[in-house]
Structure 1
Amino acid sequence: MKILIAPDSFKESLEALDVCHAIQAGFSQVFPNADYKLLPMADGGEGTSAVLSYVLGGRWKEVRVHDPLMRPISAKYLLLPDATAVIEVAQACGLHLLTVAERNPVIASSYGVGELIADALEEGVKRIIIGLGGSATNDAGVGMLTALGMTFHDSDDTTLAQGGGALASLQRLDATSFHTSVLETVFEVACDVTNPLCGTLGASAIFGPQKGASSQQVNDLDQALSHFAAICEQQGYQNYQEIEGAGAAGGLGYALMSFCQAELKSGFDTVAEVANLLQHISDADLVITGEGKLDAQTAMGKVAGGISQIAKMSQTPVIAICGSVDGLESAQTSQFDVIMPSIQKLDTIDNVFKNAYHNIEITAANIAAAIKLGQSIK
């Protein structure tokens, strides 16, 4: 029996590869001779490059870049064997790099993301996959573009300061020194956010508060980003501000589309394509996936939902192991053949997280035992 184990991480408790090992440990108690394929998955956010490193190999490169407040830090990205770089914006401009008191999207910059891209271009890559998620910035990607050679000026022709707030003073941009390799490189952006750049559903309004913006700052930033898009359009650049995903990562989605000709794709679809997931599922007799919580959002770009859809197309049985279930209590009302929550007893949330590996292993062993029993029933 060929068993493909392809879960997402269980947030705050286990990385995807650890979940794979727990499921395999449980199943191996019952089916020790099965052919197991471990394929940890991700949805394009944080952790995606680690998953692709496990699946495809490659090498990590550490680079000195600048954090959202322009302080020097070390960040890393993945170089795959096929001249592809995988960059997570959170490595350079992640919210986790700042204390709560330091969060300020008016001045936070995506400059470090541009430094990572520039380094990858110097490595000679032909494709760059960028994971948008967990950013502390709201600068429409201007920091990133600055690191790639563009300059931005006010009415006095003074170079703008870093951060989204400064964009309110933008009068012109200059791409004379823009990195020459950008337009010779394929940019694929893993993005599950559908927000436009501006407006009530835009980057500032929806994500600004969690990045530290006050109500007034949200309004100011929204106007600044709208002004930036207008200036870009005046200078002949395609205006993508209403396109779904333009507001991702504080407007990095907009900048990548407008200046790098990037294609925005579902994060899961991006990872699935690079990892050759369809072929792995087609080769399997059984697929086991999972994530921390199965709910109505599972089918909307999440790993478990995406895997179940591919498995159904391949007519391969699919089992979901999760921490908890909300609204998908019956497999008959979902896209899975079996749904099995792993929490064994009422407990504190800290203990649930701490015992996640053990609970998943027990759950997997019980599922395997049920399969074996079913095989013996006449």
Structure 2
Amino acid sequence: MKKIVIAPDKFKGSLTGIEFCNAVERGIKKHFKNVTIVKLPLADGGDGTVDALQFYIGGELISLEVNDPLMQPIHANYLYAEKEKLAFIEMAEASGIRLLKNEELNPLETSTFGTGELILDAIKRGAKHILLGIGGSSTNDAGMGMARALGFRFFDNENKELKGQGKDLNQLSTINTNLANSELKNIKFEVACDVDNPLFGPNGAAHIYAPQKGASTRMVEELDAGLRNFNDKVEKQFGKNLQNIAGAGAAGGLGAGCVLFLNAHLKSGTELIKSIADFHEQVKNADWIITGEGKLDAQTFSGKVIKGVLDSRTNQKLAVFCGVSELSEQQGKAHQIDFLAEIMQQAIDVDDSIKNAEKYLENAAAQFARHIKSAK
């Protein structure tokens, strides 16, 4: 046994990715003293991404007052690494659904303005590379609110200025770029986006995601028509058709807005983190890759961290440690999982498995080490 790579997602509500790595390392070293262990905590652009990025690039959490989705003051954080001039911003910090009460949810009224304010602060600090995670939104404004915070202006056909809320999509006639922040063109924007929905239509932003953001059937139709109008006006003014960009419909059309206003590239969140971790190089010559997340089910293999690990595997064996697995034996074999450990098998109940995840994970890693030692 020469080299083991530990590359997990977080255990939501229980362990960060690096805590997972440390627990597994301790378990393995009970049976292997001279093994090389490489820790590569991963994330998908949502919860846990700040922890993973700090592991690789350091940086500090910047806190500032911005506007929430309903334009009320709120404190939000983002990660900034001065040396790399890199910022990681989660739109959910300023424009997320978790910031609103159920009765406040209304994608006609909400705006991504606060996300734009976070981007503006990062630009002022000197950021040259901005990663934007766009999961968990409460908005359906195609990024107009964000763009407005960055100096873009939106007008209706009577030349009245629009605020950049969901309800403004239908009123949009022209976009003024004269006051747009001049630094935008000098910054590399990458967007962590793990959905491929188009901007509008039956699989678009409004039909698929707006109901969970508080939209009625009538509101969904209004928002969908608004996104069509937004795309028509953009195509007429800038010659860009945003509809067929995979992920344009993410976060209420923010995916499309990022392409238009930031000249951003939409990428898998996991792939973004893997590139920062230099994952492909780090796993070379490894005998085993260990990965894991809290719950293992059929969804695990569609765009999540474990799928990202599987896609990068060459001839390494794969071990998966999870809180609970809903995979059948056949599914495990289909994904070529060589060793599977479930924490729930050690725990009294779910609360116990969450509370003592670190201890149980260390036990599972020791069991894995015994298994591969005896298989030699």
Which range, TM-score by smaller chain? Answer: over 0.9
SS of aligned partner of 1:307: helix
Structure 1 residues 328 and 82, CA, compared in 2 at 3 Å: closer, same or farther?
farther
Moved more, 271-280 or 282-291: 282-291
Taking a change above 3 Å as real, the CA distance of residues 37 and 346 of structure 1, as seen in their structure-2 partners, is closer
Aligned residues: 373
User: 4+ residue stretches of structure 1 with deviation over 4 A?
Assistant: 345-348
RMSD: 2.0
Q: CA deviation at 1:283?
A: 5.0
Preserved contact between residue 94 and residue 135 of structure 1 (Cα < 8 Å): yes
Measured in 1, the distance between the counterparts of 2:122 and 2:328 equals: 42
The Cα of 1:189 is off from its aligned counterpart by 1.0
Q: SS of 1:4's equivalent?
A: strand
The yes-or-no answer on 1:301 pairing with 2:331 is no
**Partner of 1:238 in structure 2?**
240
Instruction: Report the residue type matching 2:208 in the other structure.
Output: I
Greater Cα shift, 245-254 or 78-87: 78-87
Q: Distance in 2 between matches of 1:341 and 1:238?
A: 49
How far off its partner does 1:177 sit? 0.2
Letter aligned with residue 20 of structure 1: C
Distance of 2:195 and 2:43 partners within structure 1: 15
Distance in 2 separating the partners of 1:36 and 1:374: 20
User: Which residue type is aligned with residue 276 of structure 1?
Assistant: D
Deviations 1:109-142 (A, max 9, x none): 1001111111122222222111111111111100
Equivalent residues in 2 for 1:224-263 (5 A)? 224-263=226-265
Distance 1:264 1:162 in 2: 22
Residue 133 of structure 1 contacts residue 249 of structure 1 at CA under 8 Å; is this kept in 2?
Answer: yes
Q: Deviations over 1:272-321 (max 9, x none)?
A: 0011111221153322111122333333322112212322x2x2222111
Q: Which residue of 2 aligns with 1:31?
A: 32
- Is the 2:11–2:294 Cα contact (8 Å) retained in structure 1? yes
1:45 has 2:43 as partner: no
Matches within 5 A, 1:84-95: 84-95=86-97
Query: CA offset at residue 91 of structure 1?
Result: 1.4
Match of 1:69, as an amino acid? L
Task: State the SS of the aligned residue for 2:283.
Answer: helix
Change (3 A) 1:51 1:349: same
- Structure 1 distance, partners of 2:221, 2:349, is 40
Measured in 1, the distance between the counterparts of 2:244 and 2:312 equals 30
Alpha-carbon distance change, 35 to 282 in structure 1, aligned in 2, over 3 angstroms: same
Name the CA distance, whole Å, in 2 between partners of 1:198 and 1:240.
10
Give the structure 1 partner of residue 317 of structure 2.
317
Counterparts of residues 2-81 of structure 1 (less than 5 Å): 2-80=3-81, 81=83
CA contact (8 A) 2:70 2:111 kept: yes
SS in structure 2 opposite 1:188?
Answer: strand
Contact 1:328 1:334 in 2 (8 A): no
- Cα shift at 1:149: 0.3
2: CA distance, partners of 1:67 / 1:41: 28
Give per-residue Cα distances to partners, 1:57-98, cap 9 Å, x unaligned: 123322221111111222222223322221111111111111
Show the counterpart of 1:329: 329
Superposition deviation, residue 327 in structure 1? 3.6
SS in 1 for 2:131: strand
Distance in 2, Cα, partners of 1:105 & 1:345: 44
8 Å CA contact 1:305–1:335 kept in 2: the answer is no
The residue number in structure 2 matching 1:138 is 140
CA contact (8 A) 2:92 2:135 kept: yes
Provide the C-alpha distance between the structure 2 equivalents of 1:99 and 1:348, rounded to a whole number of angstroms: 31
Q: Contact conserved, 1:105 with 1:213, CA < 8 A, in 2?
A: yes
Q: Secondary structure at the match of 2:238?
A: coil
Does the 8 Å contact 1:46/1:131 carry over to 2? no
The code of the aligned residue for 1:101 comes to E
Identity %: 42
Structure-2 residue corresponding to 1:116: 118
- What residue ranges of structure 1 are gaps of 5+ in the alignment? none
> Could you tell me how far apart the structure 2 residues matched to 1:293 and 1:174 are?
47
Matched position secondary structure for 1:208 = helix
Match of 1:216 among 208, 215, 218: 218
Give CA deviations for 1:166-224 in whole Å, capped at 9, x if unaligned: 22112222111011111222111111111111111111111111111112111111111
